[in-house]
Each structure stands twice: as structure tokens, then as C-alpha cells.
Amino acid sequence: MAQRKITFALFCVLLALLFLCNPMAAADINRDSLAQALKEAPENSLQRAQILQQLSSSYREDAPDESIFYGEELIRLAGGLASSDLLYLGHMSTGVAYAIKGNFPEKALRHFIAAVDIAKKEQGEEWALRQVKSRINIAGVHWQLENIGPALAYAYENVTQLKSMDEPLTLADAYRTIALMHRTAQVYDSTFIYLDKALEIYEAEGEYHRRAFTLATLANTYQKTGLHEQAREILYQARQHALRHQDSTLLRDTYQGLSSTYLQLNRMDSAEYYARRLMDVANEKGLLPNLAESYKLLSEIFSTTSQLDSALHYHKLYSETREQVISDEKARVIQEMDTKYQAREKARENRELREQYGQARFRNTLLAVSSILFLLLVAAIAFYYYRLRWKNAELKKLNEEMSNMHASQVALMHEKRHMVSLIAHDIRTPLSLIQINTHTLAHSTGLGNEEQKDILAEIEQATKDIDRATLKIMEVENKTKPPISFQSAPFDLIRVLEESIREFTPFARSKSINLQFRTSKETEPITGDPFLLRHIAANLLSNAIKYSPPGKKIELSFRDNGHEIAFSVKDQGPGLSEQEQQQLFQKGKTFYSGNNNGRHSLGEGLYLTHRYVEAMGGKITVESKTGHGALFTVRLPKEETPPAGGPYARREE
């Protein structure tokens, strides 16, 4: 857990250093003025994008959610502006905010990877360096998650690219990062190798400050591996640098490291000397944490040399100082939490204001559009009113009887033509069954006599259906009045459904689809047209098999609800959108399914099914979601009562 916290801290520091170099990120940004400027900035403008980037950067530390909001807005806007620079900055800023937030590392990775892809598409040394920065952040997230393998892979990729660029210090930093990763994985040989490479570059470039801190890291690694003599030599070099450049921070670290090293080497005089030097520097600078460490070291030294009074004295000082450090740390954390809380409250208020502003803007837009439409409507009504008055005198001269006769003939013609089209559609299903069964007879050598008889019986039934459909066509063509008669007689609904299952079993078997039939109980015969019922079931089963992927299941179920009966066909096909469901039973609508070999369906079968169900006084409904199949349910009254005035007329037999 401690190692994980150290890793996370290093990672956050790395991210912070990376983005402090961004010229658009400033710690003292006035968020209120930026928010006001954002309201006044034109939509889809470069000015708005720059303000979004500044807002995202300003909220990143204390309100990452708000930073994410502005960063994602920047990404959306930059995509519309086709600006690679803004798009890169948007992904980087949003990724850093997700990384700081901590609980969505996969989202941080997604944004950093997107930033790398953007940088790879551009040319120039600056974009090459941006690739490096993006990969550093990706490696940092993997490091945070303790995925050392992927972290090292991205770090090595950076080293390969930096070797071809004139960026020696960045290359040295990459070596040092790889060394720290290896140290986290406790691969110390590789740690030493990459720290030495970094030190060589820092020495050659005269970067003594980074070299000194790298020496401190190297000394700490030697201490971890028990090589205390080597650690002592390295710490002496770091101490000389700190004294030469008056670097008090590095000096404290080297004093503490030297005291610890001499303590391990059992050289108590030197250990005490450097512990006291650490104590002097800490007292001079008022640094309680370092002072506490010096007391702790002195207590350990005197305890080792059996000077128990001195050891106890410094242990008490250590305890008191440590308590003060903890108290100061608590106060600092409370102050930091209070600051973050205030920032988040401010961010919440900004979100509420944005929502109110958006709602008001929507209402104003809606009001303006409504006003324009109302004015257009008034103008159109006035125009047509005067136009109708002008033509009214001529329209009254027309012969109403001729108009009515013409309208009646036209309606009859359209009705007959449409009914012929619908009934012809029904012929396709038995034809398909005949084709499938004949194919089965021709290519299946292992069929028994009973199976061949069943197939031939299905072919015979299909030819009868075709014959009845052609008779219907002739009947419609010979009609001189719109209504078409249908049979009204008692029949066994379950038997009709079972026959439909048998008819479509070969079709389903050809796609490895399992047809199942469920019924709750036996039912009494109902009154209606078995021919229509047969076609209703056939159309629903045909569609279900046609649009279901191979290997799926189709379930036909039946239930008796007392005053009505119902049966359903449920498939596992691609499903239907809400818009398709609204237009499903309309005349002449065209639908498309990816599982139907790319073919379009005219939808005439479902329109015909809907007309048949209404003719029998029933209702048909559909329940579906895209990607989750469809459920068609037909409900019929036990005593069939077709709607009056429809395209069908009762004929009792």
C-alpha cells in the first residue's frame, strides 16, 4: 500500500509538471470572469475553445469534475473547428483531470491515447515532443495502477523516439523515469543502468541540479539493496553539489541519507555528526518534519551505543515534534479540503447556472420558433381563405353526382388493386415452403417414409393455400363493391397454430432455429376465419425465422384469458427501433434488416396481418428493442366481431 501511494504521488507530480509548462494554464485564473467571457463568446469559435481550455486547466486540481466538463466541451468544439492543436489540448486536459480524480483511470488512458493518435498525424518536432508527453502520462496511469509492464513499454517507446530528436535532457528524464519504474518492480540492476545513463547526460549538459537529485535517488537505491558504502560515496557527491549551490533542500536530504548510511555501517560518530547537521538546518529553516527525522536518527544512534538517557531524550523530542508535524499536517489537509470544498460548491453553482441558462435559452428559442410558425400559419390561413372564397363559386357549379360516382369508382379500383397485391404477397409463404421441402426431398438421402409423407403433406397443404389465394384474387377482381367477404365458422385455434408450426419447421431447420410452442390449457373452438388465422400465424412465423440469426430460438405461445384468447410469437432477431414500431403496420412502408442478407422488406405482410386481425375483431401489438428481438401478440375475442364498414364483410357458413 505504501509503495502504491508513493507511485501515485510521483505520477501526480509528473502530470502537474507536464501541464504547468502549458502557456494557457495559469493558477491565478479568474474563473468568474472566464465563465462570463464564455457566455459572451460566439458559438463554435476559436475564442470559445481557448476559454474552455483555460477553465478546464483552472479547475483540474480542486474540482476535477468541472475540469472534465469543460475539457469534453473543448473536445467537441475542437472537432467541429478541425483544430488538431485544441483537440490535443482537450484530450490531455481531460485525461489529467480523470487521473487526478483517481477513480476512472481507464477514461484517463482513453484520452491520453487519443492525444497520442492526434500527435502522430501531425508533422514537426513540437508534435513529436507532444507524442512523448502523452506517452509519459499513459505510462504514469499504468504506473499508478501498478501495471509496470505496459508502463515500461510506453517509456521505452519514448526513449526510442527521443534518441532521434535533439532533446537530451528529456531523454535523461525518460531514463530516470524508467529507473524509478524498475525500482518499483524491485529490478535493481536495471535501475542502476538507467540512472547511470541519466547521470551521464546531465553531466554532459551541465544540468547539475537534476544530476544531484538523480544522485540522491541512486544513493537511496543503494541503501535499499544494502550497498551502504556505495550509497555513502554517492551522497558525498550530492552533498558537495548542495554546498556549492547552497541548495538547502538537497542538503537536508543528503544529511539524512548520510546519517542513515553511517548508522547502517555502525560508524556512530559520523552518523551523529550528520544527524546533528540535519537538526541544525531544520532548526534554522523551521522545518519540523526534518527536525523530527533528526531526533529519530539521534535516538536510534544513542540507543545503538547504549546511551539510553540520550536515546530517551531524543525519542521524547521526536514524539513531540512528530505530534506537532501531524497536527500541522491535519490543519493543512483541513484547509486544503475546505478550499476544495469551496471550489466544488462554486463549480456546482456554475453547473446550476449553466443548466438554468440553457433552459432559458431553449424556452426563448422555442418561443421565437412558435411565434414565427404562428405568424406563418395565420398568413397561410388568410391566403387560403381568400383563395377558397374566390374559387367557391366555380366549385359549386360542379356536378356532385359525377364527383361522388368518380370517387366511388376510384376507391373501388384502389381497394381491389391493393387487396390483390396483399393476397399475392401471401402466396410467397407457401411457395417458400414448397421450395424448402422439395430441396429437402432432393438432397436428403436419410429421410424415412413418414418424414417424406409429412413433407409431401406440407407441400400439398401449401398448394391448397396457393389455390385458395388465387380464388381470393379472382373473387376480388370480380367484385363491384369494396367489402370482401370472409368465412365465419367455429375452429380449433390450437390446431391451426400447431399446423403452422409443422409447416415452418423445415424452414426453421434450414437455419438451425428451434421452434417451440407453449400453451397453458385446452380451449374451446372460436368463431372466425381459419384461413385468415392461418395467414396471420404464417406471416408472423415467416418474419421471425427470416430475420432471426442461425441457431436462435422462436417461441409461439398461447393463452386463454376468459373473454379473449391470445397468442404470441417471440424471436431473438435484430429487433425494431421505436420509429419502425410506429410505422410497422402502415401501408407501403419499407424496412431493412441486417440479418436478411441486406434485402429490403416492403412490410406488406405485416400490413396484411394487421388487416386480418382487425377483420376478426382483434388487435395486434409489438414489443421490441433494437438488438433484443421482437414479441408480436395477437388478441382475439372468443365470439368474433369484425369492425363494421371495414374491408371485410361477414359470411356465415
Per-residue buried b or exposed e for 354-386, using 16+ beta carbons within 10 Å of the residue's own CB? eeeeeeeeeeeeeeeeeeeeeeeeeeeeeeeee
Q: Can you tell me the distance from the alpha carbon of 31 to that of 63, in angstroms, rounded to the nearest whole number? A: 12
**Domain positions in the chain:** 1-165, 478-652
- How many residues are recorded in the chain? 653
Q: Can you tell me the distance from the alpha carbon of 32 to that of 204, in angstroms, rounded to the nearest whole number? A: 47
Strands (DSSP E) found in 2-154: none
Residues of the chain with pLDDT under 50: 1-29, 480-484, 598-600, 602, 644-653
Question: For domain 1-165, which architecture applies?
Answer: Alpha Horseshoe (1.25)
Q: Check if 1-165 and 478-652 are the same fold.
A: no
Q: Give the pLDDT confidence score for residue 7 in this predicted structure.
A: 45
Q: Can you tell me the distance from the alpha carbon of 537 to that of 607, in angstroms, rounded to the nearest whole number? A: 13
Q: 295 and 318 in contact (C-beta within 8 Å)? A: yes
Q: Give the pLDDT confidence score for residue 428 in this predicted structure.
A: 66
Cα 626 off chain centre by: 17
Q: 580 and 591 in contact (C-beta within 8 Å)? A: yes
- Classified by CATH at the fold level, domain 478-652 comes out as Heat Shock Protein 90 (3.30.565)
Q: Phi/psi of residue 519, each to 5°?
A: -140, 140
Q: Can you tell me the distance from the alpha carbon of 510 to that of 497, in angstroms, rounded to the nearest whole number? A: 20
Q: Which residues contact 516 (CB under 8 A, 6 or more apart)?
A: 553, 554, 555, 556
Q: Can you tell me the distance from the alpha carbon of 606 to that of 542, in angstroms, rounded to the nearest whole number? A: 11
Q: Give the pLDDT confidence score for residue 8 in this predicted structure.
A: 42
Q: Can you tell me the distance from the alpha carbon of 91 to that of 133, in angstroms, rounded to the nearest whole number? A: 12
Q: Can you tell me the distance from the alpha carbon of 173 to that of 498, in angstroms, rounded to the nearest whole number? A: 77
Q: Give the pLDDT confidence score for residue 587 in this predicted structure.
A: 73
Q: Identify the bridge partners of residue 630 per DSSP, sorted by sequence position.
A: 624
Q: Give the pLDDT confidence score for residue 547 in this predicted structure.
A: 86
